[in-house]
Structure 1
Amino acid sequence: MSERGFTPRRRLRLSPTGWSRVILTTIAGTVFCVAAALFVDSFNFHNLSDAEIRRAVLVDIALPTGLAAPLLFLLSYKMRELAIAYAELLVVATTDGLTQIPNRVAFTTRAEVFLDRESERPCAGSLLIVDADDFKSINDELGHQRGDLALRMMADVMKDNLRSGDILGRIGGEEFGILLPGADIAEASSAAERMRTAIGDIEFTTMGIAWPLAVSIGGVTFEEWASYDKLFAAADANLYLAKAGGRDQVRVGAFKTRSSGDLPPLPFPRRRRQRDDEFPVTSETPS
C-alpha cells in the first residue's frame, strides 16, 4: 500500500518474450477481423430482413472468431518463440561463457555508448584495466580447470565491489575492463584498491594448499569526451607501470587531451602482451 492508502497499478508490459503481447495481439486482431466483416456486410443490411441481419451478424462474429483467433494466436506464439531465441542468442553473443560477465565486444560497445560525444549528459568517469599477476603459473602448475575457477572467483569479487551503474567485462584471457561512470581519480583509486585487496583475500586452495591471487590495476580518469581507444591506451600504459613496478599494485592517472584531441605522448611505447616473468628485475645502477 502507498502512503495514500491504495496500491499503485502495475503497467502492462508488452515484452516480445511475454504472454501479454500474445494474448493482446490475439484479442485485438480478432476484434479487428470481426469489425471488418461487420463493416463490409453492413452495406447489404438494408436489403435484408431482420432475421437475415441477425444471421449475418452471427456469421460475421463466429467466422472471424473461429478462423482468425487460432491463426493469430499461433502467429503471435511463434513470434514470441523467435523473440525468446533471439534474446538467448544475444546473451550468448555478448556474455563471457566462463565468468558470465560481458565479453570484450559487449564491454567495448557499452563503453563507447557511454563515451558517445552526441550524448547530452556529462562525459566523465574512469576506465580501469585489471590483469591477474603470475597467472600463467596457475595454469601450468595447477591446471587450466583451477585457472578457470580462479578467474570466476576474481570476477565475482569484482562484481561484488562495484556500484550498480558500473560496467565490468572480460577483455582478455586474464584481463578485465571496468568503466566507472562519474568516478574521479580519488574514487577510481579507492575502487581499484578495494578490488585489489578483495582479490588478494580470496581463499584459493588446491589440495589444502593456499595459492595467493593478485592483480595489477591500471586506470585513467577523464573529465571530457575522449575516444575509447585512447582511454584504453592510457589505462594500459598505467597497467604497464603497475606490472613493471612489482605487480600487485594500482596506478591511476588523469587523462588530458591536447587541443587537437590527440593522446598526450607517453614516456614509453605501448606494451605488448607479456608474461609477468618477462619483466626484468635488476639491482644494477647505471654507470
Structure 2
Amino acid sequence: MDSSGERLSTRRVPTLRIKEQTPPARLAANKTILVADTGEGFVETSQLLGGFGFSVLCPEDCSDPASCTVAFVNPDLDGGLDLCKSLSADCKVFLTTNNRDFEFKIEAVRMGAQGLLSRPLNAVEVFSSLEETRKDELPDARVLIVDDDDLTATVYAMALEECGLRVAVLNNPLHAETAIDEFRPDLLIMDIEMPEANGLDVARAIRLDPAHTSLPILFLSAVMKKGLQQKAREIGGDDFIRKPVDIGYLVKMVRMRAARSVELRQIMVRDGLTGLINHVSFKEKLATEINRSARTKAPFSVALIDLDHFKSINDTYGHQTGDKVLQTFATLLKSSLRNVDIIGRYGGEEFGVILLDANPDQAATTMDRIRREFERVNFTHANKRFHVTFSCGLAGSDDGGNCEMLLALADTALYEAKARGRNRITRFDSSLKRRSGQEQAGISC
C-alpha cells in the first residue's frame, strides 16, 4: 500500500529483488560458441572468449548446434550459405564478412543470417552480438496497468507476465503519477472509464510533466466513439483497444510497444562507447535504490572502479587501443554480473556498479573475482601483448547517507585502494578518512 492506503500491487516482486548471490549471466547462460572462420582477428577473439568462460568449437566438433549460444560463419568458407541455413534452425548465425552488397544481404537473411560482422573480427563487436541474442527477452521492460476493475487488470497482468514483462497494477488513477515515479514503467495501459477520474484526464495530467512526455500510453475502452479515439490520439495515445480485449492481441501490442520504449530509453541513457548507462542515469538509479532500500531494508553495495594507469595505455598504444580496453572491460562486467545489478560508465576510465541484495562482503567477493579475471585478459597492439588491472572502492547501503554521500564513501575507498598499490578491492569502513587534496593529487591515473 502507499501512504494513503491505496493498493499498488507489483506482480512478481521477486523478479525485482533477486536474493541469491550466484547470478545468471547477462550474456546467454549457454557459453558454447560455434565458429566457422579462420584468419586475422580470429585467434585474439577466441582467446578473449575463452578468458571469459566461453567454449569455442568448430562445426565438425559440435554434435549439437542447438546447444550453442551463437554461430559465426565466414561465407567465403560456406559456398551457397548452406551451413548458415542449417545452423540457423538451431541458433543465431552471424556472417563474418566485409561484403555489404544489398543483394548479398537479401540472400543472407533468406538463409537465416541475423547479423554481419566486419573482418578482421573485433572482440568487442563479437561480444555485442552475443548480447543481441538476449534482445527478445525485453530486459527490464515494465508495464503499469491503471484500471479500477481489479479482476480484469489481474487477468491482463498474468498474460503479460507469461511473456516476460514486469507488471504493476494500480486501481486508483489518482495515484498514477506516484506509481509512475516509483515503478518507472516503459508502457502505461490506461482504462478510460473509471469513477475516480477519466483516463483521458489522467493521461493529460501525466503529460504535463516533461519527464513523462514520451511514455507510451495504450488506452482501453468499451466505448468506441470516433471522437473519443480522436481525443486519445491528440494527447499522445499510442493505441486504442476496445473492451472486451482479445488477450493475444493485447500481449502482441504491448510487447511491440514496450520493446520500442526500452530501445529508445537505452539510447538516451547509454554511453556511446561502452553501451553502459551514463553518469547521470547511474546516479538516478542509485538514488532510486537508496529510497527502495529504506522501505524494504534490502541491502546493496556500490562499487567505484578505476582502470589502473589508463593514461599510460593511451599514451603508449594510442586511444583506439584504449577504447578497446574500455569496451572489453565493460563487456566483462556485463558478462560477470547479474541482470539485476546496475553497471554504468561513471566517467573516463571510471565505472560504477550497484550490486543489489549484496552486503559489502558479498560485493567484495564478486568484484575480486572480476578483478582476477580481468588481469588475465590478453590485449595486443602491434604484436605487443599487455595486461590491464583495476582498483575498486566499495561502500554498503548501511554506511548511510544520500546518493552523494554514498558515492563519496566509495570514492574514499577507491583512493585507498590506489594508495595501497592498486589492483585490489577496498571496502569503506570508519577507520578510512578522506585524504587531503594534495595526497589525492599525488595518485596519478
The match for 1:126 among 290, 297, 301 is 301
Q: Which residue of 1 aligns with 2:269?
A: 94
Q: Which residue of 2 aligns with 1:193?
A: 368
Deviation of 1:111 after TM superposition, in Å, equals 0.6
The match for 1:116 among 291, 295, 308 is 291
Q: Which residue of 2 aligns with 1:165?
A: 340
Q: Deviations over 1:2-57 (max 9, x none)?
A: xxxxxxx8349897599xxx9x86x958x622xxxxxxxxxxxxxxxxxxxxxxxx
The match for 1:32 among 214, 224, 228 is 224
Q: Which residue of 1 aligns with 2:31?
A: none
Partner amino acid for 1:10?
A
Pick 1 or 2: higher relative contact order, CA cutoff 8 A, min separation 6: 1
Partner amino acid for 2:435?
F
1:275 and 1:155 map into 2 onto residues whose CA distance is 27
Partner amino acid for 2:433?
L
8 Å CA contact retained: 1:123, 1:224: no
8 Å CA contact retained: 1:133, 1:276: no
- Unaligned runs of 5+ residues in structure 2 are 1-157, 168-185, 190-215, 240-255
Which of the pair is proportionally richer in strand? 2
The match for 1:210 among 385, 400, 405 is 385
Q: Deviations over 1:157-196 (max 9, x none)?
A: 1122212321111111000011112322321221121111
8 Å CA contact retained: 2:306, 2:351: yes
Q: Deviations over 1:213-253 (max 9, x none)?
A: 11011112232642121121111111111111211111113
Where in structure 2 are the equivalents of 1:66-81 lying within 5 Å? 79=238
Secondary structure of 2:159's counterpart equals coil
Deviation of 1:107 after TM superposition, in Å, equals 0.7
Secondary structure of 2:428's counterpart equals strand
Instruction: Tell which deviates more after alignment, 105-114 or 223-232.
Output: 223-232
1:10 aligns with 2:159: yes
The match for 1:146 among 315, 321, 328 is 321
1:98 and 1:28 map into 2 onto residues whose CA distance is 44
Q: Which has the greater radius of gyration?
A: 1
Q: Which residue of 1 aligns with 2:433?
A: 266
8 Å CA contact retained: 1:135, 1:174: yes
Count, aligned residues? 223
Secondary structure of 2:224's counterpart equals helix
1:267 and 1:197 map into 2 onto residues whose CA distance is 27
2:188 and 2:325 map into 1 onto residues whose CA distance is 35
Where in structure 2 are the equivalents of 1:238-257 lying within 5 Å? 238-254=413-429
8 Å CA contact retained: 1:127, 1:219: yes
8 Å CA contact retained: 2:415, 2:440: no
2:238 and 2:262 map into 1 onto residues whose CA distance is 12
Deviation of 1:74 after TM superposition, in Å, equals 8.1
Partner amino acid for 1:168?
I
The TM-score normalised by the length of structure 2 is 0.43
- Unaligned runs of 5+ residues in structure 1 are 1-8, 34-63, 257-263, 279-287
Secondary structure of 1:179's counterpart equals strand
Partner amino acid for 2:311?
K
8 Å CA contact retained: 1:128, 1:218: yes
Deviation of 1:109 after TM superposition, in Å, equals 0.5
Secondary structure of 1:128's counterpart equals strand
Partner amino acid for 1:110?
K
Q: Which residue of 2 aligns with 1:235?
A: 410
8 Å CA contact retained: 2:371, 2:389: yes
1:85 and 1:165 map into 2 onto residues whose CA distance is 21
Instruction: Tell which deviates more after alignment, 100-109 or 238-247.
Output: 238-247
8 Å CA contact retained: 1:188, 1:252: no
Q: Which residue of 2 aligns with 1:184?
A: 359
1:106 aligns with 2:281: yes
Deviation of 1:88 after TM superposition, in Å, equals 5.0
Q: Structure 1 residues 186, 82: closer, same or farther in 2, change over 3 A?
A: closer
CA RMSD of aligned residues (A): 3.9
Which of the pair is proportionally richer in helix? 1
2:293 and 2:366 map into 1 onto residues whose CA distance is 28
Q: Structure 1 residues 133, 275: closer, same or farther in 2, change over 3 A?
A: farther
The match for 2:311 among 136, 146, 163 is 136
List structure 1 segments (4+ residues) > 3 angstroms apart after TM superposition. 9-18, 71-90, 270-278
Secondary structure of 2:348's counterpart equals coil
Deviation of 1:106 after TM superposition, in Å, equals 0.8
1:168 and 1:252 map into 2 onto residues whose CA distance is 18
Deviation of 1:270 after TM superposition, in Å, equals 5.9
Q: Deviations over 1:78-105 (max 9, x none)?
A: 8479998876553233111111011111
